[in-house]
Amino acid sequence: MTRIAVIGGTGYAGSNIVAEAVERGHSVVSVSRTVPTERGEGAVYVEGTILDVPGLLAQLGEVDVVIQALSPRGDMVGKVRPATAELFAALPEDVRLGVVGGAGGSLVAPGGPRVIDSGFPEEFRAEAEEAIGVLDDLRADASGKDWFFVHPAAAFGAWNPGERTGSYRDGGSVLVTDDAGESFISGRDLGVAFVDEIEDPKHHRENFTVGY
């Protein structure tokens, strides 16, 4: 059993990671700024924010993996990147960090260009750039501490939830698309991908894409 904390655990991506981890028998703490009235069974729900890293870590106690599943939207615009850097610097050396990124930082094809540089919707550009900044900071880290960063498929979100199939493809740094050129993964299967990586780590200090 792994002790997992999910920051943003009541959001779309985070709640699916929490659900999958609980179903697979892990000890899970879901962190959000407001504890929901409806809670999934098997997880512990706590109030906390990545904007207060010392307070957050004091609440989490001993964990093996911390997942950052926050979207830099609304009042979090411009705050997620520096807060994630502060969190990573403060984590003990034996605690692994996982990050839910976005499709924008993945590559269209081997060698590039990036999705964000290939006709990316302008309304999502600022959010994508901040997520890419989080990845850039992790890549620049010289501490040797472990992390992984996951790019979901392009059509990932609460507006297109899909179902749990238990399977997905790992595209390395390249956006995963099907034979028709579509790029999709359900929320539940993103959770599967995260918990698979926690249980059987294959990506140490690197980013990777997931989709069908």
Q: Tens of pLDDT along 14-47?
A: 999 999 999 999 999 999 998 877 787 899 999 9
Query: Sign (positive/negative) of CA torsion 180, 183, 188, 194?
Result: positive
pLDDT tens for 159-168 read 999 999 999 9
pLDDT tens for 52-64 read 999 999 999 899 9
CB proximity list for 207: less than 8 A, separation 6 or greater? 101, 105, 106, 135, 148, 149, 150, 151, 173
pLDDT tens for 45-100 read 999 999 999 999 999 989 999 999 999 988 899 999 999 999 999 999 999 999 99
| Burial class of residue 157 (count of CB atoms within 10 Å of its CB; 0-12, 13-18, 19+) | middle
Cα atoms found within 13 Å of the Cα of residue 14, Cβ hemisphere only: 23
Q: How far apart are CA 140 and CA 138, in angstroms?
A: 5
Q: Is the pLDDT at 187 greater than 80, yes or no?
A: yes
The class that CATH gives domain 3-211 is alpha beta
Query: Sign (positive/negative) of CA torsion 191, 197, 199, 204?
Result: negative
C-alpha distances in Å from residue 52, one per residue of 36, 59, 165, 175: 20, 11, 37, 33
- Contact present, 197 and 176 (Cβ < 8 Å): no
Domain ranges of the chain: 3-211
Q: How far apart are CA 185 and CA 167, in angstroms?
A: 10
Q: What is the pTM of this model?
A: 0.96
